[in-house]
């Protein structure tokens, strides 16, 4: 079978005509689809008596064919499959699979990296972003951002490295925005009030006014733009005073639990926030909902912050 043939060749146990016969068997056992790999169909077992994993079989295929001129066009695909099957928690699986995979990877990617590698992101035939890998940064993570042009139909994305570099891994994330559309009020409102110009490093008093059905507990998420931080001592004081029941703070804003209110009174939550850098910044949409119901509730239009330098 192709797996056993690859194992024998990788161990260096044969030469001459028999080695050529086994290499042919390994080449015929390669399957191509989304990935190039070595087939392990049938009653194939490894030296430990268990069915070998796809990663183990692919690694042995690389070691068996690394010097085979007839398999030169298959090695890149096998290498891609091997790199794609690596998992940080378990590597390539068993100890034998890891040993074979490490040997295969070091054999395939033994050549030193070029001094400079230009990486381009294509949308169709247009270059929308590019980055240069050079010097010590060749092995570091790089990020490139670009506006995606409006396209008719399904866009085609390509990543091209010049010169081509084996083992270059990438991920692509496409994000999008839609125009804001206000949701029906549904008896829930949230308004944020402050006066004056927000400035870097200066506490800005903000008052949240939340209203909803009488006698109902409310949950509020007040979204803040990047770099604007609430003064947590103010929120702790509001808990001790009974204005809010509890709070939590994350990178995108603050979440508040409000107690039930008497009829005819909206909840007012005053606290301070401190901007940490200047600019025109956009927060996400805030929300207000009933604590007794799952889901965020009603979305409130996002607010643009214009923060001045100190």
Convert the pLDDT of each residue in 15-33 to its tens digit. Answer: 899 999 999 998 988 888 7
Q: What is the pLDDT of residue 193?
A: 92
Question: CA 222, CA 285: separation in Å to the nearest integer?
Answer: 8
- Give the pLDDT band of residue 113 (cuts 50, 70, 90): confident
* Phi, psi (rounded to 5 degrees) for 235: -65, -40
- Residue 165 pLDDT greater than 90, yes or no: no
Average pLDDT (281-297) is 87
- The answer to whether the beta carbons of residues 208 and 222 sit under 8 Å apart is yes
Residue pLDDT, tens place only, 244-261: 999 999 888 999 999 998
Residue pLDDT, tens place only, 232-241: 999 999 999 9
Question: CA 209, CA 215: separation in Å to the nearest integer?
Answer: 16
- Residue 93: left (phi > 0), alpha (psi -120 to 50), or beta? left
Q: What is the pLDDT of residue 126?
A: 86
Averaged pLDDT score across all residues of the chain: 86
Residue 161, classified by CB atoms within 10 Å of its CB into exposed (0-12), middle (13-18) or buried (19+), is middle
Question: CA 231, CA 129: separation in Å to the nearest integer?
Answer: 39
The CB density around residue 114, as the number of other CB atoms within 10 Å, is 15
Q: What is the pLDDT of residue 149?
A: 67
Classify the C-alpha dihedral 61-63-68-74 as positive or negative: positive
- The answer to whether the beta carbons of residues 242 and 259 sit under 8 Å apart is yes
- Give the pLDDT band of residue 95 (cuts 50, 70, 90): confident
- What is the percentage of the chain residues whose pLDDT exceeds 90? 34
According to DSSP, the β-strands at 304-307 and 298-300 are: unpaired
According to DSSP, the β-strands at 246-250 and 253-258 are: antiparallel
pTM of the predicted structure, to 2 decimals: 0.48
Q: What is the pLDDT of residue 43?
A: 78
Q: What is the pLDDT of residue 185?
A: 65
Residue pLDDT, tens place only, 193-225: 998 889 999 999 999 999 988 888 999 999 999
């Amino acid at each position: 079978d192709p797996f056993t043939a690859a194992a024998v060749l990788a161990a260096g146990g044969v030469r001459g005509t028999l080695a050529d016969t086994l290499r042919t068997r390994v080449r015929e056992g390669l399957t191509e689809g989304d990935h190039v790999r070595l087939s392990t169909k049938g009653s194939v077992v490894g030296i430990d008596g268990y069915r070998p994993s796809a990663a183990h079989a692919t690694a042995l295929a690389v070691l068996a064919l690394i010097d085979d001129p007839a398999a030169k066009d298959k090695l890149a695909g096998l290498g891609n499959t091997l790199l794609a099957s690596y998992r940080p928690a378990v590597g390539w699986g068993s100890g034998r699979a890891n040993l074979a995979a490490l040997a295969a990877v070091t054999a395939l990617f033994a050549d030193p990296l070029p001094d400079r590698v230009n990486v381009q992101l294509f949308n169709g035939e247009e270059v929308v972003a590019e980055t240069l890998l050079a010097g010590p940064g060749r092995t570091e993570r790089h990020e490139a951002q670009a506006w995606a042009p409006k396209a008719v139909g399904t866009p085609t994305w390509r990543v091209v490295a010049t010169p081509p570099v084996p083992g270059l891994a990438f991920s692509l994330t496409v994000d999008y925005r839609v125009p804001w559309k206000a949701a029906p009020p549904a008896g829930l409102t949230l308004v944020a009030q402050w006066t004056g110009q927000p400035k870097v490093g200066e506490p800005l008093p903000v008052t949240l006014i939340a209203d909803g059905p009488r006698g109902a507990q409310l949950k509020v998420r007040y979204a803040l733009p990047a770099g604007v931080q609430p003064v947590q001592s103010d929120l702790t004081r509001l808990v001790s005073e009974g204005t809010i029941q509890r709070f939590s703070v994350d990178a995108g804003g603050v979440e508040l639990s409000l107690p039930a209110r008497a009829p005819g009174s909206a909840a007012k939550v005053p606290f301070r926030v401190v901007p940490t850098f200047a600019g025109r910044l956009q927060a996400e949409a805030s929300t207000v909902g009933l604590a007794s119901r799952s889901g965020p509730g009603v979305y409130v239009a996002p607010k643009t912050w214009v923060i001045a330098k100190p």
